[in-house]
Amino acid sequence: MDSISDALSRAAGQLLGRASGPFHLRLIVTPALAAFYGIRTALRDARAGHPAFLWEAVRNPDARHRLRRSWRKDIGKMILVVLAVDTLYQLVVLRAFYPLQALILVVVLAMLPYAVVRGITTRVARALPGPKEPRTGTNGSRSSGRTTP
């Protein structure tokens, strides 16, 4: 039982120790990028009339494939970068690699902010007045959505 408590104590100390020292800027930049991608995608979702991201994933099994594809497209590369930077951090600073800690950071720094911001932004954007789907003219170009009297 001591080895489990020692491992948890070590993991907590190492995760909390990452807030300062080398590579600490990634703890700010990564969630900010995830939020940016979440906002960008949410606005696209709102224009297309899609419901909030997590809500649709839970409630609509048919939409899950589209949502996974969107998720991978939007933050897949960022997740790989977070993993690469955290692996580098662990090897340089900790002199070892702890996969569970890397996974925790990916979830906390990239996936969670992306999903939360995407859902909130979609709800806010859909509540605002205006056209929800871009309209196309006869030549395929987008119109402003305004009609002339």
Nearest to 39 by CA among 47, 82, 62, 132: 47
Residue 11 domain-assigned (yes or no): no
pTM: 0.70
Give pLDDT, residue 39. Answer: 93
Phi, psi of 129 (to 5 degrees): -70, 155
Which residues lie across from 136 on neighbouring strands?
142
Domain that holds residue 110: 20-127
pLDDT in tens, 78-116: 888 888 888 888 898 888 898 888 888 888 888 899 889
8 Å CB contact between 74 and 37: yes
Give pLDDT, residue 1. Answer: 55
Residue 130 vs residue 46, higher pLDDT:
46
Residue 55 domain-assigned (yes or no): yes
Looking at every residue in the chain, the average pLDDT score rounds to: 79
Q: Please give the tally of structural domains in the chain.
A: 1
Give pLDDT, residue 121. Answer: 93
Q: Is 137 helix (H, G, I), strand (E, B) or coil?
A: coil
Please count the CA atoms within 13 angstroms of the CA of 86 that sit on its side-chain side: 26
Residue 6 domain-assigned (yes or no): no
Residue 57 domain-assigned (yes or no): yes
Residue 5 domain-assigned (yes or no): no
Q: Is 142 helix (H, G, I), strand (E, B) or coil?
A: strand
pLDDT in tens, 64-84: 888 888 888 878 888 888 888
Residue 135 domain-assigned (yes or no): no
pLDDT in tens, 49-66: 888 878 888 888 888 888
Mean pLDDT of 32-42: 89
Residues 126, 45: Cα–Cα separation, whole Å: 9
Residue 52 domain-assigned (yes or no): yes
